[in-house]
Amino acid sequence: MNYKLDMMPIFKEKSKNFGMSEKIKIKRFMDEFSNGGFNAIDNYLIDSYKVRNKSSDDISKDDNDFIVKVQHALQHNLWHYHAGFYNINNEYPIDNGYKLSDKNDLVSQWLIHYQKISDSHIVLVDIMPHPPLNILAINPK
Amino acid sequence: MTTLTASKASFNALNLFFHKVYTDLSNKITVFKIKHSPKNQSDSDFTYDLDAMKKALSQTKIAVPKSALESDESFDKWLNE
């Protein structure tokens, strides 16, 4: 079966600025999809634990734009996959970028956002930390 | 003394009444939230940058050529094209 993989220019632009270790993890995700489609990325295991991959309509109820974001995610069929970048403060030791969640799957700070067109076609949209960094909230002290 | 006892009884009655209303409302709100939670297994803090996502989705997508995924080096090279 042929799998179709597209990418938004901003995803490519951001990806080229990562280190080789992060680029390899992006490629690993793309390789998995290219070889097994959505089912492969939805069931990818590291150290016997599943990497979290889920629909982006599951927004925090505390988000001020809860309804708009849920609708936007559903309208565009947005999903996100935990990318496994950076073992920040040694809190993400698994595969040097993941930690085990209370749901017993692997989560990371960085997410690959993508649009699921079908089980055999996705578009990589953006790649961002989670939660999104708010520079204004950073205390200079 | 009689007045004080009556007031206390009224207070207790009111207190019980409001406690019941509060409990009922709390239960209803909890049920409402659970019923309206997509898939009933919400992450506690997931969100995304809506403006950034809209901007990205407004772009014209590009196809990833098979040659880009031949090796880590070819992928890096393609990213930098």
pTM above 0.90, yes or no: no
pLDDT at B50: 96
* Residue of B44, B60, B63 with shortest CB distance to A60: B44
Residue-wise pLDDT for A70-85, tens only, equals 999 999 999 999 999 9
b/e B28-37 (16+ beta carbons within 10 angstroms → b): eeeeeeeeee
Geometric angle at alpha carbon A13, from B71 and A22, rounded to 5° = 50
ipTM computed for the complex = 0.88
Q: Distance from B20 to chain A by nearest Cα, in Å?
A: 26
